[in-house]
Chain A
Amino acid sequence: MATPLRFPSSLLAEPDPFDDVGDGERIGPDAEPTRLRPVPPAAARRVRPTMLAVDRTLPVLPALGGLFPGGLRRGTTIGVSGVGARSLAIALMVRATTTGSWVAVVGDPDLGLAAAAGQGLSLERLVMVDAPDPTAWGPVVATLVGAFDLVMVAPRHRVGAADVRRLAARCRERGSVLLRLGDGPWPGRLDLRLVVGGAAWVGPDGGHGRLCSRRAGVTASGRGMEYTGRRTELLLPGPDGVTAGA
């Protein structure tokens, strides 16, 4: 097993997602600070390591491409809240599960599995974990973060700051994405917050019709990342149950 070559970040195809993170916390091919001299750009293009953008992101539905241009960046923590948060959380996970990633949901017994299936989630890669005791919550989620590409948590208790710090570091190290559902207190920084708002349902009309689709706006805010401040209108879900662009 050959050790992969290490190159400075200036050679990478993409900007480092954690430019604002201290050196000790870096992920990716330049996890160890290197002291190489700058390589001429022409040479750099030819020796660029085959670290594809695909390996650093998880795929998302085309409808969410406006929020996540290159996909869901691995190693991030994302908060999802607002009316329609569960639908958005499911929509974020759909494409990853169909491409072989596993999803763990901790402490959300209400998650509508039928709706998830309707959105296109591969249920054979979904694992539901009962809400652990507050003391066991940290270790359980940390175990899952190491092994699952996506972990969705909906803690009912007040999560400790140490747990949150450890989980964020573990996400960065393992390249998992932690989705936090709801808008309770979270004693730490989330890399990205998605808030669903302005939901308007189409369909029911004084007893006639049925709930058909919901138009909602999703606003992203976060720290120093390129998708901060983006807002997109979605059909969450669309008439066929799948999230679509509005």
Chain B
Amino acid sequence: MSGAADAPGGVRTLVVRCPDWPLTALGVGPSEPVVVLAAGRVLATTVAARKAGVARGQRRREARFRCPEARVLERDDAREARRFEAVAAALGDVTPWLEVWRPGLCAFGVRGPVRLSGGEANLVRRTARVVAVALDDLVGSAADHPGCGIGVADGGFAAGLAAGTADASVVDGGGAVVVPPGGTPAFLAPLPPAVLGCPALADVLVRLGLDTLGAFAALPATDVLARFGAEGRDAHRLASGIDERSPERRPIPPDLAVSVTFDPPVERIDRAAFAARALAEALHGRLSGRGLACTRVVVEVETEHGERLDRRWRDEGVLGPGAVADRVRWQLEGWLHGPPAVRPTSGITRLVLIPDEVVPATGRQVGFWGGASAADERAARACNRVEGLLGPGSVRVPEWRGGRDPGECLALVPFDGWEGDGSDDPSRVVAAAADGPPWPGALPGPLPAAVHAEPTAVEVCDVAGRPVTVDGRGVLSAPPHLLVPASGPVGSEATAAGDRVVAWAGPWPLHERWWDPGRRRRRVRLQVVTADGTARLVVLEGGLWSIAATYD
């Protein structure tokens, strides 16, 4: 365990950050323009794509617009974790106590390893060398990965920011940012509140005129607690450079570790991962039985040959059973595909999950008015699962566009996982239709309940069986009498009684974008009710009638 006895400035921590890890994991070098998407939004880009204006968080369409030549890949988080294990394993030479925050980002306490290396500068240089060698082994050559950034500071938060600002391309530790001991508050002071990672709070702070962490840190802690609650207090501690760990951290009850023994030993990952899911559920149950939640978990594996592997996983949010099970699976895959030094030589006999750091479980407070409710989160999770089953773009949500046709005023856009950080409001999906400008010439309501994606061609005939036409002044040649399927024979004997028109309204001519020869559209719309009581919207365009919608 980390030293609780450290100074209030926080545990001196070294953070290793491999920038654009989702790309490195997919084997993409920084020079090629590539974009990695997660849930329809840009997750990471290469340097080349960034130069073209692609930024994190953009939609696929926007990214493609800015950088049409970029290759678009989907995120593969299992692969990210699997390949990062090689880096994590290599760092085992530097420290035995490594904590993986997420694939591409890991940290360890400096206090022990610094004695071994003789000085922080040496430690940083050594770490950079180890990581560079591991990355070179992983992807082939130094040109195929963007290197790593290293940051050292008091506390993981500041060290992470330092690693983010370090120039990763400078090898051999030259690009590391080392904040001197005690200098963390000064390092943090000029940074904007957005780095705190709570957008809502950062937004309020900026509007209050507190546009740097220094200004926020200067506020009395008690006032911050009174105004912003526990979240504000934690953010204030971060901004002040005080130990970033929540003061609510609890000592770990000794009997919380859960384990499962495999007999016969498990050789296949899917079997072990299956057991891991049950194990994660058991751990979660035990923790929640005590009102605790886990922020760091140790995954430990023993094999038939007596090897013992473990890895610490940290999560900023509180790890749920699904998150823990995923980490176990990634970790197992990482070990199995890792360098020979860490690869287990035989089947797994035992799997242990040890909660390493726990906090009181406060549960997630869901929105009362607006915001995300429990039902919203459930729905979003299900959408993500269905998208996993059917492929991206198969789950879509309506978005208001406006238009004169019932089919064009609302478009379907791919569901893009707004639940991501819980801060996004689902209601933004549909802008209020009533707020938009009016559409003169729009179809009068009530609108048809079925708008056909592919209109069916029909013939509209008059009493004599002649096709009904519309002249240039928008006048029908004769009242419509029959609706005949375009392929079917024309004539009253061959037509079912259901096709006889009993009532009709129109015609309503519609001439759109007449100023633009490429996109002009001229149509005539007609509402007809046939003998079976079905009302349809038939449209004449280019001399052909078709059923565009049904009042189902």
Chain A residues within CB distance 8 Å of chain B: 1, 83-87, 90, 100-102, 104, 109-118, 123-130, 132, 136, 139-140, 143-144, 146-149, 198-201, 203-214, 237-241
Chain A residues with CB under 8 Å of B444's CB are: 210
The residue from A113, A124, A147, A149 contacting B426, defined by CB atoms under 8 A apart: A124
A166: min CB distance to chain B, Å: 16
6 other contacts beyond A114-B409, A147-B378, A211-B535, with CB at 8 A cut-off?
A: A84-B449, A87-B551, A102-B378, A114-B406, A124-B397, A203-B503
Chain A residues with CB under 8 Å of B375's CB are: 100-102, 149
In the complex formed, the residue of A with least CB distance to B291 is A1
B549 located at the interface, meaning its Cβ lies under 8 Å from any Cβ of chain A in the complex? yes
Chain B residues with CB under 8 Å of A144's CB are: 382, 386
In the complex formed, the residue of A with least CB distance to B533 is A199
Q: What are 9 contact pairs spanning A and B, CB under 8 A?
A: A84-B449, A87-B552, A123-B398, A128-B395, A128-B412, A143-B386, A147-B382, A204-B528, A214-B535
Chain B residues with CB under 8 Å of A239's CB are: 446
In the complex formed, the residue of A with least CB distance to B408 is A114
Task: Please state if B445 and A240 are interface contacts (CB–CB under 8 Å).
Answer: yes
**Given that A114-B406, A124-B426, A129-B386 are known contacts, is A204 also in contact with B527, CB under 8 Å in the complex?**
yes
Task: Please state if A129 and B394 are interface contacts (CB–CB under 8 Å).
Answer: yes
Chain A residues with CB under 8 Å of B451's CB are: 110-114
In the complex formed, the residue of A with least CB distance to B381 is A147
Task: Please state if A86 and B505 are interface contacts (CB–CB under 8 Å).
Answer: no
B532 located at the interface, meaning its Cβ lies under 8 Å from any Cβ of chain A in the complex? yes
B268 located at the interface, meaning its Cβ lies under 8 Å from any Cβ of chain A in the complex? no
Chain B residues with CB under 8 Å of A109's CB are: 453
Flag B346-384 by CB within 8 Å of A: 1 or 0 each.
000000000000000000000000000101101101110
Task: Please state if A143 and B382 are interface contacts (CB–CB under 8 Å).
Answer: yes
Flag B399-411 by CB within 8 Å of A: 1 or 0 each.
0000000110110
Chain B residues with CB under 8 Å of A209's CB are: 505
Chain A residues with CB under 8 Å of B552's CB are: 83-87, 112
- A102 and B206 CA atoms in complex are apart in Å by 35
Flag B473-498 by CB within 8 Å of A: 1 or 0 each.
00010010000000000000000000
Chain A residues with CB under 8 Å of B412's CB are: 113, 128
Task: Please state if B373 and A118 are interface contacts (CB–CB under 8 Å).
Answer: no
Task: Please state if B410 and A200 are interface contacts (CB–CB under 8 Å).
Answer: no
Task: Please state if B479 and A207 are interface contacts (CB–CB under 8 Å).
Answer: yes
**Given that A118-B446, A199-B533 are known contacts, is A110 also in contact with B390, CB under 8 Å in the complex?**
no
Task: Please state if B427 and A124 are interface contacts (CB–CB under 8 Å).
Answer: yes
In the complex formed, the residue of A with least CB distance to B444 is A210
In the complex formed, the residue of B with least CB distance to A126 is B398
- A64 and B81 CA atoms in complex are apart in Å by 53
A202: min CB distance to chain B, Å: 9
Chain B CB within 10 Å, residue with most, of A111, A116, A130, A240 = A130
Chain A contact residues: over half helix, strand or loop, or mixed?
Answer: mixed
**Given that A146-B382, A149-B375, A211-B535 are known contacts, is A112 also in contact with B448, CB under 8 Å in the complex?**
yes
B529 located at the interface, meaning its Cβ lies under 8 Å from any Cβ of chain A in the complex? yes
Tally of contacts, chain A with chain B, CB under 8 A: 174
Task: Please state if B505 and A211 are interface contacts (CB–CB under 8 Å).
Answer: yes
**Given that A102-B375, A124-B429 are known contacts, is A115 also in contact with B535, CB under 8 Å in the complex?**
no
Task: Please state if B446 and A237 are interface contacts (CB–CB under 8 Å).
Answer: yes
**Given that A128-B395, A128-B412, A129-B386 are known contacts, is A112 also in contact with B427, CB under 8 Å in the complex?**
no
A98: min CB distance to chain B, Å: 12
Task: Please state if A86 and B527 are interface contacts (CB–CB under 8 Å).
Answer: no
Task: Please state if A114 and B390 are interface contacts (CB–CB under 8 Å).
Answer: no
Chain B CB within 10 Å, residue with most, of A117, A213, A240 = A117
B194: min CB distance to chain A, Å: 27
How big is chain B's contact interface, by range? 35 or more
B447 located at the interface, meaning its Cβ lies under 8 Å from any Cβ of chain A in the complex? yes
Task: Please state if A125 and B426 are interface contacts (CB–CB under 8 Å).
Answer: yes
The residue from B385, B406, B506, B533 contacting A200, defined by CB atoms under 8 A apart: B533
A88: min CB distance to chain B, Å: 9
Task: Please state if B446 and A110 are interface contacts (CB–CB under 8 Å).
Answer: no
**Given that A112-B448, A128-B397 are known contacts, is A148 also in contact with B382, CB under 8 Å in the complex?**
yes
B450 located at the interface, meaning its Cβ lies under 8 Å from any Cβ of chain A in the complex? yes
B208 located at the interface, meaning its Cβ lies under 8 Å from any Cβ of chain A in the complex? no
Task: Please state if B430 and A124 are interface contacts (CB–CB under 8 Å).
Answer: yes
- A101 and B376 CA atoms in complex are apart in Å by 8
B415 located at the interface, meaning its Cβ lies under 8 Å from any Cβ of chain A in the complex? yes
Chain B residues with CB under 8 Å of A205's CB are: 503, 505
Task: Please state if B379 and A130 are interface contacts (CB–CB under 8 Å).
Answer: no
B504 located at the interface, meaning its Cβ lies under 8 Å from any Cβ of chain A in the complex? yes
**Given that A112-B451, A118-B447, A210-B505 are known contacts, is A132 also in contact with B390, CB under 8 Å in the complex?**
yes
In the complex formed, the residue of B with least CB distance to A145 is B382
- A211 and B504 CA atoms in complex are apart in Å by 8
Which residues of chain B (238-294) have a CB below 8 Å from chain A?
Answer: 288
Flag B152-170 by CB within 8 Å of A: 1 or 0 each.
0000000000000000000
B61 located at the interface, meaning its Cβ lies under 8 Å from any Cβ of chain A in the complex? no
Chain A residues with CB under 8 Å of B449's CB are: 84, 86-87, 90, 111-112, 115-116
- A204 and B537 CA atoms in complex are apart in Å by 12
Chain A residues with CB under 8 Å of B532's CB are: 83
In the complex formed, the residue of B with least CB distance to A144 is B382
Task: Please state if B396 and A128 are interface contacts (CB–CB under 8 Å).
Answer: yes
B476: min CB distance to chain A, Å: 7
In the complex formed, the residue of A with least CB distance to B476 is A207
- A95 and B106 CA atoms in complex are apart in Å by 49
Task: Please state if B430 and A129 are interface contacts (CB–CB under 8 Å).
Answer: no
Task: Please state if A114 and B533 are interface contacts (CB–CB under 8 Å).
Answer: no
In the complex formed, the residue of B with least CB distance to A1 is B288
The residue from A140, A200, A211 contacting B527, defined by CB atoms under 8 A apart: A211
Task: Please state if A102 and B430 are interface contacts (CB–CB under 8 Å).
Answer: no
- A199 and B409 CA atoms in complex are apart in Å by 27
B122 located at the interface, meaning its Cβ lies under 8 Å from any Cβ of chain A in the complex? no
- A114 and B450 CA atoms in complex are apart in Å by 10
10 tightest Cβ-Cβ pairs between the two chains A and B: A147-B382, A204-B505, A199-B533, A86-B449, A113-B410, A86-B552, A102-B379, A241-B446, A115-B447, A204-B503
- A8 and B533 CA atoms in complex are apart in Å by 49
- A129 and B410 CA atoms in complex are apart in Å by 16
Chain B residues with CB under 8 Å of A90's CB are: 449
Task: Please state if B448 and A201 are interface contacts (CB–CB under 8 Å).
Answer: no
B389 located at the interface, meaning its Cβ lies under 8 Å from any Cβ of chain A in the complex? yes
B230 located at the interface, meaning its Cβ lies under 8 Å from any Cβ of chain A in the complex? no
The residue from B394, B415, B430 contacting A123, defined by CB atoms under 8 A apart: B430
B433 located at the interface, meaning its Cβ lies under 8 Å from any Cβ of chain A in the complex? yes
B240: min CB distance to chain A, Å: 36
Chain A CB within 10 Å, residue with most, of B288, B444, B535, B551 = B551
B521 located at the interface, meaning its Cβ lies under 8 Å from any Cβ of chain A in the complex? no
Chain A residues with CB under 8 Å of B308's CB are: none
**Given that A123-B410, A207-B479, A210-B505 are known contacts, is A132 also in contact with B535, CB under 8 Å in the complex?**
no
B111 located at the interface, meaning its Cβ lies under 8 Å from any Cβ of chain A in the complex? no
**Given that A112-B447, A113-B410, A147-B379 are known contacts, is A132 also in contact with B389, CB under 8 Å in the complex?**
yes
Task: Please state if A127 and B505 are interface contacts (CB–CB under 8 Å).
Answer: no
